Every structure is written in C-alpha cells, then in structure tokens.
C-alpha cells in the first residue's frame, strides 16, 4: 500500500499538535473577534438605516406641514388683498364725494357773492343814475322851472316809473 | 480583463509545475519511466523536501529526523545523513517499505522505530499554521485597533472578512443553527481555512508548497475524527435518542435492534465519508496533474516529433487541470466544512415541530 494510504503516527502527532495550536489560538484571538466586530458593524448599519428611515419620515411630515402652512398663508394673503382693495375703493369714493360736496358749497358761495355784488352794483348804478338824472334834469329844468321843489318832485316821480319798468 | 489575468495566472502555475518534473526527466535517463513511482513519489510524505534534480544531483532541503530507537532512546539528526541509502546510528530509509525509516538492531532484526520526524508534510502543515495565524490574528488586530462603526476594512483584511463571513453566513449559520453557530464557528472556520490554504499551497509545485497534505489519509483522518468528536461530544439527548430509540415501528428496534444498529453505524460512516472524500479528491487531482506531466516524458522517449506534439496537448491539459484543481481546492474545503456543519447541526436537534 502506498504511504498516502497508510496512517502514519508521526504525521498524526504533528498534525494534532499543529491543528490544536492554530485552533486554540484562533479560537481565543482570531475568529470570534472578527465575527463579533462584523456583527457589531452590521448592527450599527441596521440601526443607522432605521434612523435614516425615521429621519426621512420626519422630514416628510415637516415638508407636509410646511406645504400646509404655505397654503394657508396664500389664502390669508388673498383675503388681505381683497380687503385692502375694498378699503381703497371706499376711501376713493369717500374722497370723491367730499370733493363734490365741497365744490358744490364753493359754487353756492360764489353764486351768493355774485348776487350780492350784482345787487351792490345795481344799487350804486341806481344812485349814480339818479344823481346824473338830477344833474341833467337840473340843467334842463333850470331854464324852465323856478321852483326847485316842484321840479325835484316831478323828476322823482318819473324816476320811480323808470325803476318800476 | 479578468479572463486574461486568469489565463496568465494559470499559465504561470502550469509553467512552474514543469520545474520539479523536469527534474524527474533527467533522473530517468535510464530506460523506461516508472510513472507509478514518480506519481506516488511526488504525492508521498518524505524526510526531505525535494526541490530539483540537476545532472543526477538531488537538490533538497534536509529536514530533522526525530526517532526513538528500540533500546537507544531518542535520536535527532538531519535527514541528509540518510541520503543515498546511508545508515546513521542504525537508522536507514527502507525504500521497499514506502521509504520509511527503520532501525537495524544489534541482533540484525529490523524494526520500525517511534518516528516523530519533521517530514515534508509536517513542515507544510506548520507553514499553513503560520500563515493562518498571521492572516487571522492580523485581521483580528485590525478590528481591535479600528472603530468598526466608522470604517470597514479594505485590502487583505477585507478579503479575509469576505471569506470568513461567506463561510459563516452561508454555511455555518444555516447548517448548525443560529443558537450554536457562534460556538462551533471557530472549529469550522479553522477546518475550512486549513484545508483551503493547504490545498492551494499543494498546487504550487515548489517550496513552500507542493506537499500533498490533504491528499494524505492521516490528515483527513484527523480532521474527520475532530468533526466526529465535535458531533458526538456536543450531541444532545435528542440526538442519542434518535440513534438508539428512533421513531420507527417498534418491531424495527426490538427485540432485534435493526434501526439502532444502522443508526449507530451512521455515527462512524459519516466521518469516514468525510475522510475519504477529501483524501480521494485531492489525491486524484495531484495524480492526474502528475500523470499528464509524465505523458510529456514518455512521449519524448518515443520520438521528438511525437513528443513535441503531445507535449503541447499535455501542456494545455495541465493548464486546464490546474485551473480545475484551483476550483477543487475551494470546493473540497467548502464541502468538508459544510458536511461537518451539517453533521454538527443534526446532532443538535430541537424538539421536532411535527411532534407537538
């Protein structure tokens, strides 16, 4: 039988020694350390993924809230704009009304003044006309009438007729 | 790119595998080549590490011989003292008895002494042990010195982690079961990497590789024994009950215990299968590569033309076989570990779900 088929005591002895050496050393210092550390890292990665997932969910919630806030803000903005426009219109209308009123008062005043002025003018014209008439009549009547009083009376009567006309 | 590099690697491997066998060629200038002798010689354990034979001179690394004589106690000397059939202190290498060391006593009787020599295989085993300690304790040290939550290893440590976790996650955990995986992982990982690294070094034709360690029945016997002990020592009550009182009709176990006997045989056939499987696969791989190499020298003796043409075929075959053996190196280590893990897992049965 070839030697590879016949168990050899010396080889078995050394194999036992060598394998036990490597087995015990790696049992103590080798494989458990590697397995433990890889497991630790695996747990860390799982945990991190979980955390990332949670953070993502939170972010989504925040995003939604943000959107909601934006929406309500827009609505408020629209309402405010509408209100502002109404106020604006009211103010303008009021101002217009006030201006119209004021203008009416001014016009009325002006009319009254004009009327007064006219009366004044009429009155002064009347006086002037009377004086002129007297002077003219005097000049005319000086020649014809002796009596001043009769003359004055007569002219006054004529003048009244004219004024009534 | 990958295929190219694989081709280059396998070519280099094949080219290297020429070296020691070229030596064989010059050795056998005498008529006829004893293929069986060459193949078995290269696969067998030896007292010195043969590297090359140049012009009839053997270039080899002498290794220490440690023997305990029948009456003379322990002897330690280098194997070079026994070269060329020389005898040292009554010890000599008997080529007719597989090249083992024998002692010639004063009265002329020849006995086999207690032989604990550091042979080629023993040295190869220690090289593998050194390599494993360096690789794995080095990797473990990396983990101790770094914060694993901050960085993952790269380079060599990353490669080791990949291998370790592949075996642990894909093989040990499903086979042994989550509960006990951690406990058995060191042995199973140790067995896997021991076999894998030994197989790989066995494919390198020159020192520090080339010894046919896992193709030696002693080594596979030891590994199978270790698995058998792990299975049976840590087997629980359920496991032993299934062996001696399995769940079969009563007439199968009493009064003639047919099933218990069969089950009890299983305790020994399982590790036996492990032992033979690994041994036969690796031995066959080495034998085929060596035989194909021998074809070159046989055909060269017939004629130059025949020799040259067959050599090319043989060379291509060798590249193919080396690539195949590279695969086998991994597969056999994987299979051994997987079967060990499965046997260990079977010895830890939980109360079956279907019983409840």
The 10s digit of each residue's pLDDT in B265-305 is 989 999 999 999 999 999 999 999 889 888 888 888 888 88
Determine, yes or no, domain membership for A39: yes
Residue B5 maps to a domain = no
φ, ψ for residue B102 (rounded to 5)?
Answer: -125, 160
Mean pLDDT value across residues A14-29: 93
Pairing of strands B91-94, B100-104: antiparallel
Largest CA distance in chain A: 199
Q: Is residue B95 included in any domain, yes or no?
A: no
Residue A3 lies in a domain: no
The token pair at A150 is: 């009769």
How many angstroms separate the CA atoms of B199 and B281, rounded? 11
Chain mean pLDDT for chain A: 89
- Model confidence over A109-124: pLDDT tens digits? 999 999 999 999 999 8
Structural domain for B159, as ranges: 120-346
Number of domains comprising chain B: 1
Identify the band that residue A144 occupies on the pLDDT scale cut at 50, 70 and 90. Answer: low
Instruction: Give domain status of residue A139, yes or no.
Output: yes
Which residues have C-beta within 8 Å of that of residue B143, sequence separation ≥ 6? A33, A34, A37, B153, B157
Question: What are the pLDDT digits (tens) for B309-318?
Answer: 888 888 899 8
Q: How many residues does chain B have?
A: 356
Note down the domain range covering A77: 9-164
The answer to whether residue B257 sits within a structural domain is yes
Please give the DSSP secondary-structure letter assigned to residue B88: B
Task: Determine whether B109 is exposed, middle or buried from the number of CB atoms within 10 Å of its CB (0-12, 13-18, 19+).
Answer: exposed
Q: What is the pLDDT of residue B8?
A: 59
B94 and chain A: CB distance < 8 Å anywhere? no
Q: What percent of chain B has pLDDT over 70?
A: 89
Residue B331 phi, psi (nearest 5):
-60, -45
For chain A, how many structural domains are there in total?
Answer: 1
Q: Which residue of A has its CA nearest to B161?
A: A34
Angle at B229 between CA B223 and CA B230, to 5 degrees: 90
- Measured in angstroms, the CA of A49 and the nearest CA of chain B are apart by 13
Alpha carbon of B35: minimum distance to chain A alpha carbons (Å): 14
B24 — pLDDT class (breaks 50, 70, 90)? very low
B4 in any annotated domain = no
Instruction: Encode pLDDT of B322-338 as tens digits.
Output: 999 999 999 999 999 99
* CB proximity under 8 Å: A 71-100 to B: none
Q: What is the pLDDT of residue B25?
A: 45
Top mean pLDDT of A21-25, B28-32, B245-249 is at A21-25
pLDDT tens track for B132-153? 999 999 999 999 898 888 888 8
Confidence band of B28 (pLDDT split at 50, 70, 90): very low
In a domain, B104, yes or no: no
What is the mean predicted confidence (pLDDT) over B60-65? 88
Within an 8 Å CB–CB cutoff, is residue B41 touching chain A? no
In percent, the amount of chain B with pLDDT more than 90 equals 34
**DSSP-assigned beta bridge partners for residue A8:** none
Better-scored residue on pLDDT, B339 or A148: B339
Average pLDDT over residues A17-43: 92
Residue showing tokens 């020159």: B206
Contact: B122, A18; criterion CB under 8 Å: yes
- Residue A4 maps to a domain: no
The verdict on residue B237 lying in a domain is yes
Q: Is residue B355 part of a domain?
A: no
Verify whether the Cβ–Cβ distance B115 to A10 is below 8 Å: yes
Put simply, the answer to whether A10 touches B116 (Cβ < 8 Å) is: yes
* In-domain check, residue B340: yes
Q: What is the pLDDT of residues A53-105, one digit of tens each?
A: 999 999 999 999 999 999 999 999 999 999 999 999 999 999 999 999 999 99
- Could you give the CA distance from residue B288 to residue A73 in angstroms, rounded to a whole number? 84
| Between residues B34 and A19, the one the model is more confident about | A19
**Residue B174: per-residue pLDDT:** 92
- Mean pLDDT for chain B? 84
Query: Helix and strand tally (H, E) in chain B?
Result: 10, 8
Interface membership of A18 toward B (CB under 8 Å)? yes
Q: Does the pLDDT of residue B230 top 60, yes or no?
A: yes
Is residue A18 domain-resident?
A: yes
Cα separations (Å) of B236 from B225, B229, B232, B343?
19, 13, 8, 13
- A1 lies in some domain: no
Band the pLDDT of A17: cuts 50, 70, 90: very high
Q: How far apart are CA B51 and CA B77, in angstroms?
A: 20
Any B CB within 8 A of A13 CB: yes
**Interface probe with A: pick from B217, B229, B336, most Cβ of A within 10 Å:** B217
Residue A71 domain-assigned? yes
């Amino acid at each position: 039988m070839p030697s590879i088929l016949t168990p050899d005591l010396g080889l078995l002895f050394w194999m036992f020694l060598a394998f036990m050496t490597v087995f015990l050393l790696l049992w103590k210092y080798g494989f458990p350390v590697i397995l433990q550390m890889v497991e630790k890292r695996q747990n860390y990665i799982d945990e991190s993924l979980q955390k990332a997932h949670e953070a993502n969910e939170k972010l989504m919630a925040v995003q939604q809230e943000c959107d909601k806030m934006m929406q309500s803000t827009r609505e408020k903005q629209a309402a405010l704009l509408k209100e502002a426009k109404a106020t604006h219109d009211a103010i303008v209308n009021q101002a217009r009304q006030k201006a119209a009123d004021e203008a009416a008062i001014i016009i009325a005043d002006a009319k009254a003044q004009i009327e007064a002025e006219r009366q004044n003018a009429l009155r002064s014209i009347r006086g002037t006309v009377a004086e002129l008439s007297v002077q003219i009549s005097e000049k005319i009547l000086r020649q014809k009438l002796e009596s001043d009083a009769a003359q004055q009376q007569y002219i006054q009567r004529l003048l009244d007729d004219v004024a009534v006309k | 790119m990958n295929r190219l590099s694989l081709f280059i690697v396998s070519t280099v491997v094949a080219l290297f595998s020429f070296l020691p066998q070229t030596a064989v060629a010059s050795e056998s200038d005498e008529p006829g080549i004893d293929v069986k002798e060459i193949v078995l010689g290269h696969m067998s354990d030896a007292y010195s590490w043969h590297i090359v034979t140049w012009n009839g001179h053997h270039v080899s690394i002498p290794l220490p011989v440690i023997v305990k004589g029948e009456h003379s106690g322990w002897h330690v000397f280098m194997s070079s003292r026994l070269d060329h059939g020389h005898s040292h202190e009554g010890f000599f290498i008997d080529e007719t008895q597989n090249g083992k060391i024998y002692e010639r006593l004063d009265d002329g009787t020849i006995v086999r002494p207690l032989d604990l020599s550091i042979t080629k295989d023993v040295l190869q085993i220690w090289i593998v042990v050194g390599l494993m300690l360096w690789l794995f304790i080095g990797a473990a040290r990396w983990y101790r010195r770094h914060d694993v939550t901050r960085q993952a290893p790269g380079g060599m440590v990353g490669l080791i982690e990949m291998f370790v976790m592949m075996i642990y996650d894909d093989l040990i955990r499903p086979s042994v079961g989550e509960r006990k995986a951690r406990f058995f992982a060191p042995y199973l990982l140790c067995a896997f990497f021991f076999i894998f690294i030994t197989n790989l070094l066995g494919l390198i034709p020159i020192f520090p590789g080339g010894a046919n360690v896992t193709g030696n029945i002693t080594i596979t016997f030891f590994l199978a024994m270790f698995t058998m002990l792990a299975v049976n020592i840590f087997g629980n009550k359920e496991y032993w009950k299934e062996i001696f009182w399995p769940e079969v009709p009563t007439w199968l176990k009493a009064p003639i215990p047919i099933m218990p006997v069969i089950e009890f045989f299983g305790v020994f056939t399982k590790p036996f299968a492990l032992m033979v499987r690994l041994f036969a696969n690796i031995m066959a791989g080495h034998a085929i590569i060596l035989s194909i190499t021998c074809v070159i020298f046989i055909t060269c003796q017939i004629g130059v033309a025949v020799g040259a043409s067959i050599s090319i075929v043989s060379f291509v075959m060798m590249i193919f076989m080396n690539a195949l053996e590279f695969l086998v190196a991994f597969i056999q280590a994987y299979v051994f570990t997987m079967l060990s893990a499965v046997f260990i897992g079977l010895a830890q049965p939980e109360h079956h779900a279907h019983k409840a």
